[in-house]
Structure 1
Amino acid sequence: MSGLKVLAVDDVPPALNELCTLLREAPEVAEVAGAGDALSALRMIQSGRFDAVFLDVAMPGLDGLELASLLAKLTDPPVIVFVTAYEQHAVAAYGIGAVDYLLKPVRAERLADALARVLRVAPGGAADASDEAAAPLPDAMAALPVESAGRTRYVRRNEVHYVEAHGDYVRLYTHSGVHLVRMPISRLEEYWEAAGFVRVHRSFLVALGAVRELRSDSVGGLLAHTDLGDVPVSRRHARELRERLLQAARRGQLDRTGRP
C-alpha cells in the first residue's frame, strides 16, 4: 500500500480544513478528501473507494454515529475514526466498530496513533498479520462512562463482576449497583475478552476473577457463582469456562482483578 485514501467529514468548515491539513501532513496518507455533511460523505463513499473516514459526531441531519452505522453495512466498509469535542459518545462509537476516538483539538501525535490503528485493519494495510495479532484493540474500554441524571460516572472494568445483555444495551453488575450502557454485548466481549471476561451464555459475560464456584441449578444446569449473584452458563460454553478457570487458577490469576 502506497498510502491511505482518507475522507474527513465535519460540518464546521474551519474544523474540516484543520483536519484535512493534519491528514495531508501525515506520511501514512496519500490522498485526502473533505465533506461538509454526512449525506455528501455518503455519496462520495458510494462513488469512490476510501480506506478510512475521519468522522465528526455532532452534525445536523444525519449525524456521525448514524452515518457510521450505515457504512458498517457495506460489503467493504472503510475504517472509522471519530473526531469530536464530546467524549460522551465514545461508548457508542466503539460499539459501532470505530478503531479510535479523537477529541478536538486533534494533536498530531494522537492522529499518528489513530492512523497506525487504521493501517493495522485496513485492507492491504502496511502491518502484516503477525503485527496485527500482536497489537491490542484500543483499551478505551478499561472504564465505561455511564450517564445518569445529567452526570457522567466512569465504571472501571475491574469493578464489573458480570455483564447481562439487555437489547441494544448491557447491564454492568458491580458492588456499587447495576449500570446500563448502550453497547451490544458482542462488541463489549471483543474489547474485554483479553481482560478475562468470558462469554458463558448468549446474554451473559462473566469475569473469571469474580467466579467463586460453579454450581448446578434445580434442573441440572450450570451456574457461575459470584459475590453479586449466579450467572447462567449454557451447555455450549460450559467446557470452555471450566478450562479457562483451570488455566487462570494455574497462573494464579483468579480473584486478582481488584474487585472488593
Structure 2
Amino acid sequence: MESSRYAKRFHGRLVLVTGAGSGIGRATAGAFAAAGARVVCVDRNARTASASADLAKVLGATDAWPEAVDVADAATMERLSERVLSAHGVVDVLVNSAGIGMSGRILDTSVADWRRTLNVNLWGVIHSCRLFGRQMADRGQGGHIVTIASAAAFQPTRAVPVYATSKAAVVMLSECLRAELAQFGVGVSAVCPGFVNTSFTAAMHFAGVSEQEQTRLRKRAVDTLGRRGCPPERVAGAVLRAVARNTPVATVTPDARLVRLISRFAPPLRRAVARLDPPS
C-alpha cells in the first residue's frame, strides 16, 4: 500500500487538505491518515468534512479534525490559518485540492462563470499558499505545498477553456512559489492528473446551455469518466510521492503524460488539437 511506504515520513505530521469532503481531496486525506499523519479536513460542506475526518481516524490518522470553510473567502481562510496554528501548530503539508469544473466556449461564458471558477480554483489556492506558506517560512523547519492542477493546464481547448486557464495559472503559481520558498526548505509541487473518476463532473457547470442540456451533459461526463477515469486513490498516492521526492510537476495518468509531452515537444500539434470541436 502506498501510504505504508511513507509511514515513517509522515507519521505525526500535520497535514491540511482542502476539498477534503470528496474525490481526490478525501482520498488524499485518507492516504496521509493511513501513513499516521494528523489531518485537517477542510471542505465548504460541514457534513462531508466531518465524514472525511471520521474516515481519516478509521484509516489510522494520529488525529483528524473537520473544518467547514469556503476557500474562496479570504477572511475566512485567514481565520482558518490562525485557528489551525493556535490549536495544532504549523502545517507540515498543505494540499490544495478544492476545485470546481466549468465547461463551455469562452464566448458563451459570463463574468459570473469566470469569477465562480477563478475564485475557487485560483484564488482559493492563492489564499492558502500565502497564509500557510508564510507560517512554514517563519517556522524555518521546512514543509511542503501541493496543488492539484490538471492535464488541462498543458493543452488549449475549446471544451473547458475557463477550467484550463485556472489550472494553468496554478501550475505557474506553484513554480513561482517553489522558487520563492526554496530558501526556507519548503517544497512546492503541482500534481496534474488527467481523467479521474470522481463526483467532480456531476456538479460541473456548462455555459450557454439549458438546464435540461446541463443534466444530459453531466450524466454523459459521469458515465464517460466511470469507464475511463482512474480512481482518486491513485492521485492521492501521487501526492504522497510528490511530497516525498519534492517533485516540481507530477503527471499522474497516461493521458496527462501524453498531453504534457506534446505541449513541450510538439506545439503545432498542441494547437491543432485545440481547434478540434469538443464532443457534444
Specify if TM > 0.5.
no
Of structures 1 and 2, the one with the larger relative CO (CA 8 A, separation 6+) is 2
TM-score by length of 1: 0.40
